[in-house]
Amino acid sequence: MTPNRADCLGIIGVARDVAVLNQLPLVEPEIVPVGATIDDTLPITVEAPEACPRYLGRVVKGINVEAPTPLWMKEKLRRCGIRSIDAVVDVTNYVLLELGQPMHAFDKDRIEGGIVVRMAKRAKRWCCLMALKRS
């Protein structure tokens, strides 16, 4: 995928392109905006606006992190080459597949001082979702 075609990172983007190429109508899913219902926030600092001009977040409470991912979603992820991790991560991956919008879920209680968006620092180690240390 070339950088100028990020719209095709999700099923909707590909469907839009195919519809135009075949001169077919496209019925896009209705996405209803959901306003915030709680006042809880988390500070976000973007230190690399040239790489990430906009970074948005939403605090969601009452998530049961022990809930299983529905089988239909696990299967759709598997068929797209994505390993099921847990319900929260699986939902973010599902949204990526559908809309092409990359997402990440954080545990707010484990974040100290907010989220900082920046370029990686040299020799910085981090832990990925599979608990492997990376450099």
Q: What is the pLDDT of residues 58-104, one digit of tens each?
A: 999 999 989 999 999 999 999 999 999 999 999 999 999 998 888 99
How many other CB atoms are there within 10 angstroms of residue 76's CB atom? 17
Q: Which of 43, 42, 47 is nearest to 121 (CA)?
A: 47
Q: What is the DSSP string of 37-79?
A: -S-----EEES-TTT-S-----------TTSPPPHHHHHHHHH
Q: Report residue 131's pLDDT band, with 50, 70 and 90 as the boundaries.
A: low
Residue 29, H or E segment: none
Model pTM score: 0.78
Q: Which of 96, 62, 58, 63 is nearest to 77 (CA)?
A: 96
Q: What domains lie within the chain, and their CATH numbers? A: 1-31 (no CATH), 41-134 (3.50.40.10)
pLDDT over 90 at 54, yes or no: yes
Q: Report residue 47's pLDDT band, with 50, 70 and 90 as the boundaries.
A: very high
β-partners of residue 44 are 115
